[in-house]
Each structure stands twice: as structure tokens, then as C-alpha cells.
């Protein structure tokens, strides 16, 4: 693949699993609701093989039956577990150096996340990186649905040129969102999905960590 990247002036970042290293928190949270129901637990590898969007489909893959299990109860149990783990999560080590590098290249940053908006703002503030971002977009509920509509809202409200915009995420859904928005996408494989799954997309490139971006810009 050609290593030359075109000139980008905007990066739209995913949050969970891309900037925030919350894989362990997510694994502990799903295993808590599985364990409470005497269902088989996941390890890091099996989790990264089944996690995906919409989250309801991911729950079905790990064994829940929504003719018997109440989706809203499960979603609330999970989110309570997950928010309890949030204080112990941190940014990936290469996030701030990468943001600094890209900012110095004249790139503007946005966040587009499937996390509930108010919680997302609190978490970004906790990590102390608010000043990097022009705007932050999160969903208005706890069900981690599609980000496509929200992504198009981000583009329109900020008058963003699609041709010079790049989305960076860690899941197949991030690629699907970027495709629906008509923008390029790079996926990072140290997040919530295995590299073998990410490589099946037609994204611009799959990287193993954010520090690799310095070699591309």
C-alpha cells in the first residue's frame, strides 16, 4: 500500500478504545453481568472477537436471548458496572504526543462517540484534554447505537470539508460511520476489536498504535 497520505485538516476521533484505554473496564463490565447469570465469561481475546455495534447484537453473540432477557435491564446493569470502572481508565500512552503532533501540523480535532454525551464530557475533562477539541459529539442515551446521524450532524454544524477529513477509530462501525459520512478512515487495532476483523474493511489503513500516525502525516 502507498505510504503517502493526502493532506488532512480535520480528524474526527472515536473515544472509547481509540483515545481512552477502556478495554479492561468493558471486559470486566460484561463479565459481571455474565457471571451474575451463570453464563460463560469472556477473556480479552474472545471479547475482541465478538464485540461490535449495534451493542444489542453483541449481547446476543455472548449468549443473551432477548425473548427471555430484558435488553433495558442488561444495558443498565452494564452501564452501571462500566461507569464504576471509569475512574480507573486512562488514555493510551501515545494519545497526547499524537494530538500534539497533529495539532502542530495544523489539524483540527473533534470527538464522535457512542458514549452518552454528559458522561463523555466528564470523562474528557477527567483526562484533561478538553483544549485539543473543537467540539465533542456523544449520543443522548446509554444504548450505544449508531453514530452515523450524529456524525453527519458534526460535519454540517461545523462546515467541515469531507475531502480533507479523516476519522480514526478502533471498530468496524467506525469505518462504517466514516463511509456513510463520505470521509476517509484509519482503524487502530489496540482497541475493542481484533486486527483480523479490522483488516477485512476497506479503510485507508490499519495501524497498531496511534504513534504510527506520525509516520503517515
Separation CA 11–CA 127 (nearest Å): 19
Task: Report residue 71: phi and psi, to 5°.
Answer: -60, -45
Q: How do residues 94-108 score in pLDDT, each as one tens digit?
A: 999 999 999 999 999
- Identify the pLDDT of residue 6: 72
Is residue 92 classed as helix, strand or coil in its secondary structure? coil
Q: Which residues pair with 135 in a beta bridge?
A: 110
pTM of the shown model: 0.93
Res. 7 pLDDT band, cuts 50 70 90: confident
The Cα 178–Cα 203 span in angstroms is: 9
Instruction: Round the CA-based radius of gyration of the chain to a whole number and report it.
Output: 17
Give me the half-sphere count of Cα atoms (radius 13 Å) on the Cβ side of residue 173: 26
Give the pLDDT of residue 143: 47
Query: Could you report the per-residue pLDDT of 123-174, keeping only the tens digit for each?
Result: 999 999 999 999 999 988 644 456 888 999 999 999 999 999 999 999 999 9
Q: How far is CA 175 from CA 186, 191, 207, in A?
A: 8, 14, 13
**Across 31-60, average pLDDT:** 95
DSSP state of 141: S
Burial group, residue 25, by CB count within 10 angstroms (0-12, 13-18, 19+) = buried
pLDDT at residue 141 in the model = 60
Amino acid at each position: 500500500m502507498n505510504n503517502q497520505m493526502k493532506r488532512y485538516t480535520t480528524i474526527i476521533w472515536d473515544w472509547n478504545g481509540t483515545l481512552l484505554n477502556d478495554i479492561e473496564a468493558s471486559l470486566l463490565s460484561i463479565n459481571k453481568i455474565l457471571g451474575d447469570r451463570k453464563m460463560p465469561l469472556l477473556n480479552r481475546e474472545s471479547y475482541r472477537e465478538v464485540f461490535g455495534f449495534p451493542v444489542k447484537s453483541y449481547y446476543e453473540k455472548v449468549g443473551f436471548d432477548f425473548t427471555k432477557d430484558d435488553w433495558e435491564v442488561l444495558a443498565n446493569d452494564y452501564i452501571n458496572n462500566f461507569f464504576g470502572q471509569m475512574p480507573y481508565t486512562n488514555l493510551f500512552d501515545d494519545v497526547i504526543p499524537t494530538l500534539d503532533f497533529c495539532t502542530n501540523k495544523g489539524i483540527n480535532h473533534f470527538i464522535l462517540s457512542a458514549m452518552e454525551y454528559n458522561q463523555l464530557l466528564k470523562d474528557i475533562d477527567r483526562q484533561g484534554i478538553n483544549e485539543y477539541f473543537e467540539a465533542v459529539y456523544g449520543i443522548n442515551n446509554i444504548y450505544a447505537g449508531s453514530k452515523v446521524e450524529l456524525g453527519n450532524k458534526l460535519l454540517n454544524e461545523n462546515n467541515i470539508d469531507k475531502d480533507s477529513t479523516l476519522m480514526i477509530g478502533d471498530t468496524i462501525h467506525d469505518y462504517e460511520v466514516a463511509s456513510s459520512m463520505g470521509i476517509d478512515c484509519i482503524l487502530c487495532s489496540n482497541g475493542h476489536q481484533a486486527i483480523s476483523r479490522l483488516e477485512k474493511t476497506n479503510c485507508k489503513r490499519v495501524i497498531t498504535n496511534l504513534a504510527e500516525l506520525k509516520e503517515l502525516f
